[in-house]
A and B are shown apart, each in its own frame.
Chain A
Amino acid sequence: MLDIAVLSVGISLAATMVAASFALTGALWIVYGHSPLRHVLHGCFNAGLGLPPVAVGLAIAFMFWRSGPLGPLDLLYTPAAMVFAQIIIVTPLFGSLAVIALRAVDPTLPGQLAALRVPARAQLRLLARETTPGLLAAGLAGFGRAIAEVGAAQMTGGNIEGQTRVLTTATMLDVGRGDFGTAFGYVAVLLGIMGLATGAAFVLQTRWR
């Protein structure tokens, strides 16, 4: 049980971190950049909100099958393949919410800070403080989506005991086996993890204010 929970959290956190670094870069460009292409990326982020995880899982599994283009890497049915899939699932969600968070900041604020001759480093710090609560919410949403997701996790991980079994796929397996008690146990752990993550995000958000 513990190793399954740890793997779930590890995969989801790693995917959320990587997705957040991509998506935050993209979101900063969308909000503060000038190229018209940034609207295309924004459109991709928004469209990606509806990206079905099973579609992502199938595409990643197809790539990583031994018969697929990335087969020689021998990554299918490994946590790495699961992280790949979750990154693709989480990036648009985080990006879309990050754009909202960044836009919530008064657009004249950078100009005002510059006019007040606030040093560049302090400007960044102030802007970061303004946007951090929104970005934390985006991170929480991304983490929640990754850890709650089952279709892509099953297809890319294969639900292998001791290797790629995570809370959601373990739940499906035990429901399939008719072992509902164990399945409820996994679900309880999953809910507990989300509760802890929500609490942690709340504490961080209030501290940043």
Chain B
Amino acid sequence: MKHVMKPAAVFFLAAILVATPPAHAAGPAVVLATTTSTQDTGLLDVLVPAFERATGYRVKTIAVGTGAALAMGERGDADVLLVHAPKTEDAYMAKGRGLERKLVMHNMFVVAGPPGDPARVKGAATAVQAFKRIAAAKVPFVSRADDSGTNTKELEIWKAAGVAPHGPWYIKSGSGMADTLHIASQKAAYTLTDDGTFLSQRATLSLVPVIEDAKDLRNIYHVIVVKPIAGRVGNLAGAEAFAGYVVSPAGQHLIATFGKAKYGRPLFSADAGAGDGP
């Protein structure tokens, strides 16, 4: 049996090494740490291959929450970040762990809830008002509770509403956006979601948007080039190329048209150059 096993083991090890594509001549693969919402909507499935074709760099996309993505950048475990928690990003940049930060795109947050709207949230002018009504009615609300950009936004809204949410109605999923939506749907609960993920999941959810287009619900994405740490593996040139690509006309066009065919309207608005990258 051993005589059979040895060549087989060698073969499979070799096969795995071969299956791992060789590093780009310009350095190791570019590690992109980003958020579950960009992955769950499918935007990255379009953007990353287009970037790879355009530049020849190879990208390793790691989809985590914004908090985890920023932590990866801080440790030097990622080369470039695509994240959406502007206040947390400010703190990150203040620590000197980012070389540059550019505005890429935005979509809107949506407060989604059961069709019956048991907390009578519809008609509230802002998310802050909506959250106050949910807390007062003690209707279940599912929080990501994962330090993601959406979770950060949610906590900001609670703070602005003057509510410290806790109790059996406040459910902490600890999961990504799409998972959290399904939990909210199954529990007939409210939740805060980005409209891109909500649209892409809507067919399998029994949730409706109860607050949309409120002015306090803008969801802004920035790309950040991580400052390399001397002596560590990294790919600064690839990171700069990626940041350049997503704000280039080609990258912005992909973002502005993404989802149009499938959902009837784009999931993100391309913003590069429209405003500031602080």
Report A's interface with B, CB cutoff 8 A.
Answer: 7, 10-11, 13-14, 17-18, 20-21, 65-67, 71-72, 74, 76-80, 83, 128, 132, 135, 158-161, 163, 173, 175-178, 180
Question: Are B233 and A74 in touch, CB under 8 angstroms?
Answer: yes
Complex CA distance for A8 and B90, rounded to whole angstroms: 40
Residue numbers in B under 8 Å from A13 (CB-CB):
8, 12
* Between-chain CB contacts (< 8 Å), 17 pairs: A11-B16, A17-B9, A20-B5, A65-B75, A66-B76, A66-B233, A67-B75, A72-B232, A77-B31, A80-B16, A128-B1, A132-B1, A160-B61, A160-B62, A161-B61, A163-B21, A163-B60
Chain A residue nearest to B8 (CB atoms) is A17
Assuming the contacts A18-B9, A65-B77, A67-B229, asked whether A80 and B1 have C-beta atoms less than 8 A apart, the reply is no
Complex CA distance for A56 and B229, rounded to whole angstroms: 27
Chain B residue nearest to A135 (CB atoms) is B1
Q: A14-B13, A77-B29 are in contact. List 7 more A-B contacts (CB 8 A).
A: A13-B8, A21-B9, A65-B75, A67-B75, A78-B20, A163-B21, A176-B176
Question: Are A177 and B234 in touch, CB under 8 angstroms?
Answer: no
Complex CA distance for A203 and B68, rounded to whole angstroms: 48
Assuming the contacts A160-B60, A160-B61, A177-B178, asked whether A66 and B234 have C-beta atoms less than 8 A apart, the reply is yes
Question: Are A158 and B62 in touch, CB under 8 angstroms?
Answer: yes
Assuming the contacts A128-B1, A161-B45, asked whether A177 and B61 have C-beta atoms less than 8 A apart, the reply is no
Complex CA distance for A65 and B31, rounded to whole angstroms: 11
Residue numbers in A under 8 Å from B175 (CB-CB):
176
Chain A residue nearest to B61 (CB atoms) is A160
Taking residues whose C-beta sits less than 8 angstroms from the other chain, chain B's interface range is 35 or more
Shortest C-beta distance, A181 to chain B (Å), equals: 10
Question: Are B5 and A67 in touch, CB under 8 angstroms?
Answer: no
Shortest C-beta distance, A160 to chain B (Å), equals: 5
Q: Report B1-38 CB contacts with A as 1/0, cut-off 8 Å.
A: 10001001100110111011101000011010000100
Residue numbers in B under 8 Å from A161 (CB-CB):
45, 61
Question: Are A74 and B28 in touch, CB under 8 angstroms?
Answer: yes
CB within 8 Å of A: which of B224-250?
A: 229, 232-234
Chain B residue nearest to A128 (CB atoms) is B1
Assuming the contacts A128-B1, A132-B1, A178-B182, asked whether A71 and B12 have C-beta atoms less than 8 A apart, the reply is no
Assuming the contacts A158-B60, A163-B21, A163-B60, asked whether A17 and B12 have C-beta atoms less than 8 A apart, the reply is yes
Chain A residue nearest to B23 (CB atoms) is A74
Question: Are A176 and B12 in touch, CB under 8 angstroms?
Answer: no
Question: Are B201 and A66 in touch, CB under 8 angstroms?
Answer: no
Chain B residue nearest to A179 (CB atoms) is B204
Shortest C-beta distance, B77 to chain A (Å), equals: 5
Question: Are A178 and B232 in touch, CB under 8 angstroms?
Answer: no
Question: Are A177 and B75 in touch, CB under 8 angstroms?
Answer: no
Is B179 an interface residue when CB atoms closer than 8 A count as contact? yes
Assuming the contacts A175-B179, A176-B178, A177-B40, asked whether A67 and B12 have C-beta atoms less than 8 A apart, the reply is no
Is B200 an interface residue when CB atoms closer than 8 A count as contact? yes
Residue numbers in A under 8 Å from B12 (CB-CB):
10, 13-14, 17
Shortest C-beta distance, B26 to chain A (Å), equals: 14
Question: Are A67 and B232 in touch, CB under 8 angstroms?
Answer: yes
Lowest 5 A-B CB distances belong to which pairs?
A: A17-B9, A14-B12, A67-B75, A178-B204, A178-B201
Shortest C-beta distance, A21 to chain B (Å), equals: 7
Residue numbers in A under 8 Å from B62 (CB-CB):
77, 158, 160
Shortest C-beta distance, B84 to chain A (Å), equals: 18
Chain A residue nearest to B45 (CB atoms) is A161
Contact of A66 among B13, B45, B182, B232 (CB under 8 A): B232
Residue numbers in B under 8 Å from A159 (CB-CB):
63
